């Protein structure tokens, strides 16, 4: 656990996504949950030292952000899109990436992602959001004001968390910091608008959905990745490529480092990513 500001602690070592904890005089607010049972149990032990956990905010419904809900305390807060799609993993329809959520197969998920945690999922039960909002809400807890609001980009409705006193922004998966970006449910044009919106905040630290925290520069780096992806697909469309041709010939894999654990899935994922951006640009 790393303290990045007077009230905020984060970890990028307990699973796929970067998780956070906001300590206040009246309890703790968590941001996202580790995707591995072993990581979630370790994170629970670490944040216990900060005080009673009051709330857990899920920034999205993808399994790497919500699987660990089962192991963590606190009332779960999420936007309505997260609640309504809680048991769906990825975009459904043309170019579907993954299908039903692994929340429905915890043992199979643990075998793939966390073999040491197999014994921890014997009594696994998914924990769904209990407080659901549309648009945004504000949590005043003790001496800290936490703004929670929806954005579109990585998906139609990501949740973003802004800790005003500390000027810390949790972007969710609207930012992947130097790790492969997932485009499978994205709205690319809205994504650029969201990144521009982030720069209007007074920010000391940006906490991405994946990767290490940084400064405002990682917003610019993410914007370049999205612009490059859009540009490649636009060029393919402009040259007359069909969707099928584009998904075979265009790739985003060189835009950011790809984790070793995903290399075996890379060709299929890239086809899904390119297909999603292609469909969205054509829909314009």
d(Cα 191, Cα 173) in Å, to the nearest integer? 10
* CB distance 37 to 64 below 8 Å: no
Percent of the chain with pLDDT over 90: 85
When pLDDT is averaged across residues 250-274 and rounded to a whole number, the result is 91
Q: Which is higher by pLDDT, 264 or 52?
A: 52
- What local confidence, expressed as pLDDT, does residue 90 receive? 56
DSSP assignment of 108-167, as one string? HHHHHH-GGGGGGGTT------SEEESSEEEEEETTEEEEEEEE-SSSS-EEEEEETTTT
The answer on pLDDT for 82 being more than 90 is yes
The answer on pLDDT for 262 being more than 90 is no
- What local confidence, expressed as pLDDT, does residue 191 receive? 98
* CB distance 91 to 274 below 8 Å: no
Q: How many residues does the chain have?
A: 284
When pLDDT is averaged across residues 30-37 and rounded to a whole number, the result is 96
Q: Which is higher by pLDDT, 96 or 202?
A: 202
The gap between the terminal CA atoms of the chain, to the nearest Å, is 43
Model pTM score: 0.93
- What local confidence, expressed as pLDDT, does residue 102 receive? 82
d(Cα 156, Cα 158) in Å, to the nearest integer? 7
When pLDDT is averaged across residues 29-36 and rounded to a whole number, the result is 96
Confidence at 94, pLDDT banded by 50, 70, 90: very low
- What local confidence, expressed as pLDDT, does residue 155 receive? 94
Confidence at 95, pLDDT banded by 50, 70, 90: very low
Burial of 240 (0-12, 13-18, 19+ CB in 10 A): exposed
Pick the range with the lowest mean pLDDT from 40-49, 233-242, 259-268.
259-268
Q: Mean pLDDT over all residues of the chain?
A: 93
* CB distance 90 to 38 below 8 Å: no
| Per-residue pLDDT tens digits for 126-146 | 999 999 999 999 999 999 999
- What local confidence, expressed as pLDDT, does residue 91 receive? 44
| Per-residue pLDDT tens digits for 163-208 | 999 999 999 999 999 999 999 999 999 999 999 999 999 999 999 9
Helix ranges, 16-140 (H): 37-48, 63-66, 80-84, 106-113
- What local confidence, expressed as pLDDT, does residue 189 receive? 97
- What local confidence, expressed as pLDDT, does residue 98 receive? 52
Q: Which residue has the tokens 């549309």?
A: 134
Backbone φ/ψ region at 34: left (φ over 0), alpha (ψ -120 to 50), beta: beta
The answer on pLDDT for 256 being more than 80 is yes
């Amino acid at each position: 656990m790393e303290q990045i500001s007077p009230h905020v602690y984060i970890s990028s070592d307990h699973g796929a996504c970067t998780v956070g904890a906001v300590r206040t005089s009246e309890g703790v607010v968590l941001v996202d949950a580790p995707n591995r049972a072993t990581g979630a149990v370790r994170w629970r032990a670490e944040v216990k030292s900060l005080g009673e956990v009051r709330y857990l905010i899920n920034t999205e419904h993808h399994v790497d952000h919500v699987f660990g809900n089962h192991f963590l305390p606190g009332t779960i807060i999420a936007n309505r899109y997260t609640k309504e799609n809680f048991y769906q993993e990825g975009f459904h329809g043309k170019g579907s990436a993954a299908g039903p959520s692994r929340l429905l197969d915890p043992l199979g998920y643990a075998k793939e992602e966390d073999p040491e945690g197999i014994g921890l999922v014997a009594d696994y039960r998914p924990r769904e959001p209990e407080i659901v909002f549309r648009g945004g809400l504000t949590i005043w807890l003790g001496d800290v004001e936490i703004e929670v609001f929806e954005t579109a980009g990585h998906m139609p409705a990501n949740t973003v968390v802004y800790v005003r006193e500390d000027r810390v922004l949790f972007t969710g998966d609207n930012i992947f910091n130097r790790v492969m970006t997932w485009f499978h449910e994205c709205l690319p044009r809205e994504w650029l608008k969201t990144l521009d919106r982030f720069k209007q905040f007074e920010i000391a630290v940006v906490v991405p959905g994946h990767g290490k925290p940084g400064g405002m520069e990682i917003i610019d780096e993410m914007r370049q990745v999205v612009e490059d992806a859009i540009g490649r697909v636009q060029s393919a469309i402009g040259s007359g490529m069909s969707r099928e041709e584009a998904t075979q010939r265009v790739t985003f894999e060189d835009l950011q480092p790809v984790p070793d654990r995903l290399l075996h899935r890379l060709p299929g994922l890239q086809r899904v990513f390119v297909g999603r951006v292609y469909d969205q640009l054509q829909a314009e």
